[in-house]
Amino acid sequence: MPMQTVKMVITGPFSAGKTEFIRSISEIDVVTTDEGISAVSAEYGTKEATTVAMDFGRITVDDDLVLYLFGTPGQRRFDFMWEILAEGMLGFVVMVDSAKPETFREAKSILETFRAYAPTPYVVAANKQDHPDAWAPEDLRIALRIEESVKLLPCIATDKESVKNVLLELLYSILEEMDT
Amino acid sequence: MPLKGNLADFSITQILNLINLAKKTGILHVYEPIVTDETIRDGTGQERKKVMPGEERATVAFRDGKLILATMGNQDGHLANVLQKAGKLNIQQARVIRERGKKYSDKALALMLINANYATQQDVVRSIKQYTLDIVYDLANWEQEPFVLDENAAPSPARITVPIDLQNVIMEIGRRKDGDEPGIELPNLDMALKFPEDPGEKFRRVHLSVEEWRVVSFINPNNSIRQIAKACNMTETEIRRVVYSLLNAGLVELMKPPTSKQPARAAAGGKSRSAAQPPITVKRSVVERLIAKIKET
């Protein structure tokens, strides 16, 4: 029997936690294509490298089924990769850094862009909920104008159980979509 | 978790919308912006100077999603000043009341002024309402101030508060803004509009202009914003301003572009099903296997 591969995309603004999300659940070391960031501050939440092409993680279900997780580059100058990564995806996760309102506008823009690529099911992960400045998920829903029918889930990308919950909710949404 | 941010990223209109829809109680503190040498990156990865909060410049209080009081840093908001600004007291009267009424709360002072026939209760309420609104309309022009919403905080019980519906405030801010300002965002004029789940409740207390009502009358999932503008004989800038205000007041919601070409009048309820989704290409059993695997991971 040929191996079946299924793809999910993890997208979101710069520094939203996409790489961490995939790293927490992937059974292989995440394949990243990062480059250094010149101006680095020691402040909580800043990062030293950014994804330029994609992150790649894998979850093997059995001998004939594999789930691939692709993380998109956060910076706009690499957005030519988005559409390529979105092709054939089963669903997508939009990661939002709950503690950085300066990224909310871009999060909304990315969400709309991916919805336009493929109207597949998606969920929004309100990441960094352990940060003292994190906005509550219900406030993020209003701030990002996310419809009630779309799942907006609290998330901590470094916590495997939290990541599992986000992926499971996306899969449940896909099942619900199949039922309609 | 306090709501923190900067008006450059989240405008006063957006904050009011959030407070209105979430029916929040609390005090919004807005600070003087201190631009530092430190840099931060926005959602696209672009660098910019970090702005830190300086001195407090204004506070705005809310109760259950309604605006109730506002103060500006350089004005103390004393009742005598509020009434003087509204033309209910002259400079001399206001000065005497300020000096002699120091030990009284605004509520006690208002009672004395009403009893002494200096002002009516209606004068007091109207004056405080206008004073509060003037501050909020002024705030709406600020563009880079840091803010913090201290949830569940309340102004001193000595202060007189007047509940004001935020939908009307948001609509008025929209009317005062130029449609070409950077703060005015509208994703796409080919998007359609629909009413929220409970339009009757939301529209009950809102005061719309004739122009705004005309736009509302064409809201229908089948009409793009561009079509509505054409039907109402409005320019792109005009429709942008009206839709921006309606969106921020929570009176309408954006939805996927329609397929029909002719604008139709507003549909009752405004509910619609978005464009049909393409079938998911994997089998249900594949998704179920993925679920089982992730659960055991």
B22 to A39: CB separation less than 8 angstroms, yes or no: no
Q: What does chain A come to in residues?
A: 180
Q: Are residue B12 and residue B147 in the same domain, yes or no?
A: yes
Tally of CB atoms within 10 A around A92 = 27
Residue B248 lies in a domain: yes
pLDDT > 80? residue B259: no
Q: What is the mean pLDDT of residues B224-243?
A: 88
Reported as a pLDDT band with limits 50, 70 and 90, residue B222 is confident
Residue B237 lies in a domain: yes
Percent of chain A scored above 70 by pLDDT?
A: 87
Q: What is the mean pLDDT of residues A32-57?
A: 61
Domain end (from B165, B195, B223): B165
Q: Are residue B75 and residue B181 in the same domain, yes or no?
A: no
Sign of the CA dihedral with B241 first, then B245, B247, and B252 last: negative
H/E run at residue A7: strand A4-11
Which region among A139-143, B78-82, B181-185 has the lowest average model confidence (pLDDT)?
Answer: B181-185
Listing DSSP states for A40-100 in one string gives ---STT--SEEEEEEEEEEEEEETTEEEEEEEPP-SGGGTHHHHHHHTT-SEEEEEEETT-
Q: What angle do CA A132, A136, A140 make, to 5 degrees?
A: 125
Q: What is the Cα–Cα distance from B215 to B210, expressed in whole angstroms?
A: 9
Interface test with A, best of B294, B295, B296 (most A CBs within 10 A): B294
Residue B262 lies in a domain: no
- The amino acid sitting at B275 is A
Q: Are residue B13 and residue B153 in the same domain, yes or no?
A: yes
Q: A39 to chain B: which residues are within 8 Å by CB? A: 39, 47
Say whether residue B271 is in contact with chain A using an 8 A CB cutoff: no
Sheet harboring A122-127: ordered strands across? A31-36, A49-62, A65-71, A4-11, A91-97, A122-127, A152-154
pLDDT > 80? residue B180: no
Pairing type for strands A152-154 and A122-127 reads: parallel
Nearest chain A alpha carbon to B2:
A133
More confident residue, B266 or A3: A3
Q: Are residue B187 and residue B49 in the same domain, yes or no?
A: no
Q: Are residue B7 and residue B32 in the same domain, yes or no?
A: yes
pLDDT > 90? residue A17: yes
A172 to B286: CB separation less than 8 angstroms, yes or no: no
A65 to B253: CB separation less than 8 angstroms, yes or no: no
Q: Give residue B99's pLDDT.
A: 87
Q: Give residue B260's pLDDT.
A: 46
Q: Give residue A51's pLDDT.
A: 64
pLDDT > 70? residue A53: no
Q: Give residue A55's pLDDT.
A: 84
Residue B185 lies in a domain: yes
Tell me which residues of chain B, numbers 162 to 191, contact chain A at a CB-CB cutoff of 8 Å: 185, 187
Q: Give residue B278's pLDDT.
A: 55
Q: Give residue A79's pLDDT.
A: 75
Q: Are residue B16 and residue B135 in the same domain, yes or no?
A: yes
pLDDT > 90? residue B181: no
Tokens 């352990």 belong to residue:
A130
Q: Are residue B184 and residue B156 in the same domain, yes or no?
A: no
Q: A25 to chain B: which residues are within 8 Å by CB? A: 294, 297
What the block records as the tokens of B39 is: 């840099």
Reported as a pLDDT band with limits 50, 70 and 90, residue A89 is very high
Which of B2, B275, B287 minimises the CB distance to A171? B287
Q: Give residue A102's pLDDT.
A: 93
Sign of the CA dihedral with A26 first, then A27, A33, and A37 last: positive
Q: A74 to chain B: which residues are within 8 Å by CB? A: 43-45
Sheet harboring B26-41: ordered strands across? B3-6, B146-151, B26-41, B47-63, B66-72, B164-165
Q: Point out which residues pair with B33 in neighbouring strands.
A: B53
Q: What is the Cα–Cα distance from A57 to A28, expressed in whole angstroms?
A: 6
Strands (E) across chain B are located at 3-6, 26-41, 47-63, 66-72, 146-151, 164-165, 192-194, 253-255
Interface test with A, best of B12, B14, B42, B47 (most A CBs within 10 A): B42
More confident residue, A158 or A37: A158
Q: Give residue A30's pLDDT.
A: 79
Q: Which of A62-71, B184-193, B203-212 has the highest mean pLDDT?
A: A62-71
Nearest chain B alpha carbon to A77:
B44
Q: A106 to chain B: which residues are within 8 Å by CB? A: 42-44
Helices of type H across B116-218: 121-139, 166-176, 199-203, 210-217
Q: Are residue B15 and residue B53 in the same domain, yes or no?
A: yes
Residue B77 lies in a domain: yes
By C-alpha distance, which of B212, B297, B214, B296 is closest to B263?
B214
Q: B185 to chain A: which residues are within 8 Å by CB? A: 105
Reported as a pLDDT band with limits 50, 70 and 90, residue B267 is very low
Q: Where are the domains of chain A?
A: 4-179
Percent of chain B scored above 70 by pLDDT?
A: 89
Burial of B211-241, coded b for 16+ CB within 10 Å and e otherwise, reads ebebbbebbbbbbbbbbbbebbebeeeebbb
Q: What is the Cα–Cα distance from A9 to A21, expressed in whole angstroms?
A: 11
Q: Are residue B194 and residue B83 in the same domain, yes or no?
A: no
Q: What mean pLDDT value characterizes chain B?
A: 86
The 10s digit of each residue's pLDDT in A99-128 is 999 999 999 989 988 988 888 999 999 999
Domain end (from B165, B191, B214): B165
For residue B37, the enclosing domain spans 3-165
Tally of CB atoms within 10 A around B158 = 11
Say whether residue B39 is in contact with chain A using an 8 A CB cutoff: yes
The 10s digit of each residue's pLDDT in B136-165 is 999 999 999 999 999 999 999 989 999 999
The 10s digit of each residue's pLDDT in B95-118 is 998 888 888 899 999 999 999 998
Residue B187 lies in a domain: yes
Q: What is the mean pLDDT of residues A32-47?
A: 54
Interface test with B, best of A62, A87, A139, A148 (most B CBs within 10 A): A139
Q: What's the domain count of chain B? A: 2
Asked if residues A97 and A17 have their Cβ atoms less than 8 Å apart, the reply is yes
B43 to A138: CB separation less than 8 angstroms, yes or no: no
| Alpha-carbon torsion angle B3, B6, B10, B16, nearest 10 | 60
Q: Are residue B83 and residue B34 in the same domain, yes or no?
A: yes
Distance from CA of B279 to the nearest CA of A (A): 8
Q: What is the Cα–Cα distance from B119 to B89, expressed in whole angstroms?
A: 8
Q: Give residue B176's pLDDT.
A: 85
Q: What is the ipTM of this complex?
A: 0.89
pLDDT > 80? residue A42: no
Q: A172 to chain B: which residues are within 8 Å by CB? A: 291
Which of A101, A138, A174 minimises the CB distance to B10? A101
Domain with residue B245: its CATH number is: 1.10.10
Domain range A4-179, CATH architecture: 3-Layer(aba) Sandwich (3.40)
Q: Are residue B12 and residue B149 in the same domain, yes or no?
A: yes
Distance from CA of B44 to the nearest CA of A (A): 5
Q: Are residue B227 and residue B144 in the same domain, yes or no?
A: no
Q: What is the mean pLDDT of residues B28-55?
A: 93
Q: What mean pLDDT value characterizes chain A?
A: 88
Classify B194 in phi/psi space as left (phi over 0), alpha (psi -120 to 50) or beta: beta
The 10s digit of each residue's pLDDT in A127-162 is 999 999 999 999 999 999 898 899 999 999 999 999
By C-alpha distance, which of A58, A55, A37 is closest to A46?
A37
B277 to A120: CB separation less than 8 angstroms, yes or no: yes
